[in-house]
C-alpha cells in the first residue's frame, strides 16, 4: 500500500514546482520558496532507482554519485532553512546557515577522501564492508535534523500569528508538518546508524513520501485558494454580464473604460469585476429617474403576487423596476427627478455587493421578471 508513496510525493512536488514556476521566477518574494521546492524535489529524485540508473551511465563511479547527492542534499536543507528564516524576517541568521552548510560539505568531502577506498557512500551493515566512517553520517544527519527541525518549528510558530491570512496559516502548517516528518526521518536514520537494525530501513521510503506530500500540499494550498478566488471572480463577472449589457446600453455614459475586447482582456479580472459593479450601480442611479411611484407600487404587487421567497424578494423587485425603467426609456418617456431610493443602501463590502448584484442578475432572467416584461410590452401595444 505504501510502496508508491515516495514516488507519488516526489511527483506532487515536481507538479507544484512546475505550476509555481512562472510566479516563482518573476516574483522576488516567491523566488526563494520556488527555489527551495525545486531543490527538495531534486534531492529526493536522486534517490529514485530510474534517476540513479541514468546517473550511473553518466558517472563512472557510484561512489561519486552518492557523495554528490549528499552534498546536494546539504544545499537543499540550507536553501529551505534560508527561505524559512527570510520569510520569518530573521535575515541575520542566514549567514550562519550558509557558513554551516559550507563547513559541513567541506567536512564530508574530507571524511570521504580520507576513508579507505570504497564503492558506495552508504551505511555499512558491518565494519568489514569498506565505506565512509560513521562520523560522516553523524554530521550529515545532524545537520539535516537541526535544519529541518528549525524549519518546522518556525513554520508552526509563524502560522499562529493573528496577522497571518488563513490560507497562508494552513499552508505553513502543512509545510511545517512535512519538514518535521523529515526530522523524524533523520531520527530514524540516526537510530539505524547506532543499531544497524533492519527494522528502520522499510520506514524510510514511505516517510519520505509523506514528507513530500505534506510539503507539496503546503506550497499548493495558497495557490489553489488564489486560483479558486480567480475562478469565483470570472464566474461573477460572467453572471453579471446579461444585466450589465442591458443597463450600459441604456446608460452608456457610465462605462468607465470603453475599448476593444482584446484590451479589456489584459485588465486583471478583479479590476474588471470591480468596474462592472460600479457601472451597474451607476446605471441603476440613472435609470431610476424613469420609475414613478405608481410603477414602484405595481412592481411590489407583482412580486408579492408571485410569492417570491423573502430573501429573494428585494432582488426581484429591483430587477422588475429596472425592466420597467428600460421599457420607459425605450418608449420615449422623459426622466424625472425623484426621491425613491430604488437602488438600495448598498453593501458593506465588495463581496457583499457582488452577491447582491448577482441575485438581481439572476432575478432579471427569472420567469417572474420575464412575465413582467411581457406585461409591459402588451400594455404598450
| DSSP type of residue 1 | -
Final residue in a domain of this structure, among 182, 211, 227? 227
Residue 339's pLDDT is what? 61
Q: What CATH code is carried by the domain that includes residue 68?
A: 1.20.1070
Residue among 113, 154, 104, 105 at smallest CA distance from 132: 113
Is 238 domain-assigned? no
What kind and span of H or E run contains 11?
helix 5-26
293 touches 340 (CB < 8 A): yes
Query: 40 with 109, same domain?
Result: yes
pLDDT higher than threshold 60 for residue 136: yes
Of 171, 194, 227, the residue at which a domain comes to its end is 227
Residue 94 CA: distances (Å) to CA of 38, 41, 180, 215:
19, 22, 20, 21
Residues 191 and 308 in one domain: no
Neighbours of 88 (CB within 10 A): 16
Rounded CA-CA distance 167/171 in Å is: 6
Cα separation of 177 and 197, whole Å? 27
User: pLDDT at position 347, please?
Assistant: 61
My answer on whether 150 and 272 are in the same domain is: no
CA-atom Rg of the chain in angstroms:
32
User: Same domain, yes or no, for 176 and 269?
Assistant: no
The answer as to whether 97 is a domain residue is yes
Total number of domains constituting the chain: 2
Residue 54 in this model has a pLDDT that exceeds 90: no
| Residue 38 located in a structural domain | yes
- If asked whether residues 286 and 208 sit together in one domain, one would say no
Tell me the percentage of the chain whose pLDDT exceeds 70.
91
Does the residue 57 lie in any domain?
A: yes
pLDDT in the model for residue 20: 87
Instruction: Please indicate, yes or no, if residue 240 is contained in any of the structural domains.
Output: no
Convert 195-210 into a string of H (helix), E (strand) and C (coil): HCCCCCHHHHHHHHHH
pLDDT in tens, 289-307: 888 888 888 989 999 888 8
Q: What percent of the chain has pLDDT over 90?
A: 41
Residues 206 and 261 in one domain: no
Q: Is residue 13 included in any domain, yes or no? A: yes
Average pLDDT of 230-246?
A: 95
Chain segment 144-184, per-residue pLDDT in tens: 999 999 999 988 988 888 777 888 888 889 999 999 999 99
- Residue 381: the pLDDT is 47
Cα–Cα distance measured from residue 184 to residue 177, given in angstroms and rounded to the nearest whole number:
10
pTM, two decimals, is 0.74
Please determine, for residue 342, whether its predicted confidence score (pLDDT) is greater than 70: no
Same domain, 211 and 317: no
pLDDT confidence bin for 108, thresholds 50/70/90: very high
155 versus 27: which is more confidently predicted?
A: 155
CA–CA distances in Å: residue 198 to residues 136, 206, 263: 20, 15, 65
Residues 130 and 275 reside in one and the same domain: no
Question: Which domain, by its residues, includes 167?
Answer: 5-227
Query: Residue 264: what pLDDT?
Result: 65
CA neighbours within 13 Å on the CB side: how many for 200?
16
Range 218-233 average pLDDT: 90
pLDDT of residue 174: 93
> Which of 227, 242, 262 lies at the terminal end of a domain, its last residue?
227
CA-based end-to-end distance of the chain: 74
By CB atoms closer than 10 A (0-12, 13-18, 19+), residue 24 is: buried
Report the pLDDT value the prediction gives residue 184, as an integer from 0 to 100: 96
Q: What is the mean pLDDT of residues 254-260?
A: 72
The pLDDT of residue 95 is 78
Same domain? For 212 and 301 the reply is no
pLDDT for position 331: 86
CA dist 102 and 77 (Å) reads: 12
Are the CB atoms for 158 and 169 separated by under 8 Å? no
Instruction: Report how far residue 160's alpha carbon sits from residue 369's, in angstroms, rounded to the nearest whole number.
Output: 50
Question: What is the reported pLDDT for 25?
Answer: 83
Q: 67 and 136 in one domain?
A: yes
**Confidence band for 362, pLDDT divided at 50, 70 and 90:** very high
Q: Which alpha helices (H) appear in the chain, and where do they start and end?
A: 5-26, 31-45, 49-58, 62-87, 94-114, 134-159, 166-195, 201-250, 261-265, 269-287, 293-305, 310-330, 350-364, 367-380
Q: Domain for residue 243, yes or no? A: no
Q: How many CB atoms lie within 10 A of CB 351?
A: 11
Whether 216 and 259 share a structural domain: no
Instruction: Let me know whether 177 and 306 are in one domain.
Output: no
The three-class DSSP label of residue 125 is: coil
Average pLDDT in the 102-121 region?
91
Does a structural domain hold residue 244? Answer: no
Q: Are residues 167 and 143 in contact, defined by beta-carbon separation less than 8 angstroms?
A: no
Q: Which of 189, 242, 233, 246 is nearest to 73 (CA)?
A: 189
Amino acid at each position: 500500500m505504501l510502496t508508491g508513496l515516495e514516488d507519488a510525493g516526489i511527483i506532487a512536488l515536481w507538479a507544484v514546482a512546475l505550476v509555481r514556476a512562472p510566479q516563482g521566477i518573476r516574483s522576488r518574494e516567491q523566488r526563494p520558496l520556488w527555489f527551495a521546492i525545486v531543490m527538495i524535489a531534486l534531492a529526493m529524485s536522486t534517490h529514485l532507482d530510474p534517476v540513479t540508473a541514468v546517473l550511473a551511465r553518466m558517472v563512472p563511479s557510484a561512489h561519486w554519485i552518492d557523495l554528490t547527492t549528499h552534498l546536494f542534499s546539504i544545499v537543499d536543507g540550507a536553501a529551505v532553512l534560508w527561505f524559512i528564516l527570510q520569510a520569518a524576517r530573521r535575515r541575520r541568521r542566514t549567514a550562519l546557515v550558509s557558513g554551516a552548510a559550507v563547513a559541513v560539505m567541506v567536512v564530508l568531502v574530507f571524511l570521504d577522501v580520507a576513508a579507505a577506498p570504497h564503492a558506495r557512500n552508504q551505511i555499512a551493515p558491518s565494519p568489514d564492508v569498506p565505506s565512509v566512517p560513521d562520523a560522516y553520517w553523524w554530521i550529515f544527519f545532524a545537520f539535516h535534523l537541526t535544519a529541518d527541525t528549525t524549519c518546522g518549528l518556525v513554520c508552526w510558530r509563524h502560522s499562529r500569528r493573528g496577522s497571518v491570512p488563513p490560507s497562508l496559516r494552513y499552508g505553513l502548517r502543512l509545510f511545517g508538518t512535512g519538514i518535521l516528518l523529515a526530522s523524524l526521518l533523520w531520527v530514524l536514520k540516526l537510530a539505524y546508524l547506532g543499531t544497524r537494525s533492519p527494522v528502520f530501513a522499510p520506514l524510510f521510503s514511505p516517510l519520505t513520501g509523506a514528507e513530500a506530500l505534506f510539503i507539496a500540499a503546503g506550497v499548493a494550498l495558497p495557490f489553489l485558494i488564489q486560483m479558486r478566488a480567480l475562478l469565483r471572480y470570472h464566474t461573477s463577472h460572467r453572471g453579471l454580464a446579461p444585466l450589465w449589457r442591458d443597463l450600459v446600453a441604456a446608460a452608456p455614459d457610465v462605462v468607465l473604460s470603453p475599448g476593444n475586447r482584446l484590451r479589456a482582456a489584459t485588465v486583471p479580472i478583479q479590476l474588471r469585476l470591480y468596474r462592472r459593479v460600479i457601472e451597474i450601480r451607476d446605471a441603476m442611479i440613472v435609470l431610476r429617474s424613469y420609475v414613478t411611484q405608481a410603477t414602484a407600487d405595481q412592481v411590489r404587487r407583482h412580486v408579492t403576487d408571485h410569492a417570491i421567497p423573502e430573501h429573494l424578494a428585494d432582488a426581484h423587485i429591483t430587477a422588475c423596476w429596472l425592466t420597467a425603467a428600460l421599457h420607459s426609456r425605450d418608449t420615449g418617456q422623459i426622466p424625472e427627478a425623484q426621491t425613491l431610493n430604488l437602488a438600495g443602501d448598498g453593501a458593506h463590502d465588495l463581496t457583499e455587493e457582488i452577491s447582491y448584484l448577482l441575485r438581481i442578475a439572476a432575478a432579471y432572467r427569472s420567469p417572474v421578471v420575464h412575465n413582467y416584461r411581457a406585461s409591459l410590452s402588451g400594455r404598450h401595444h
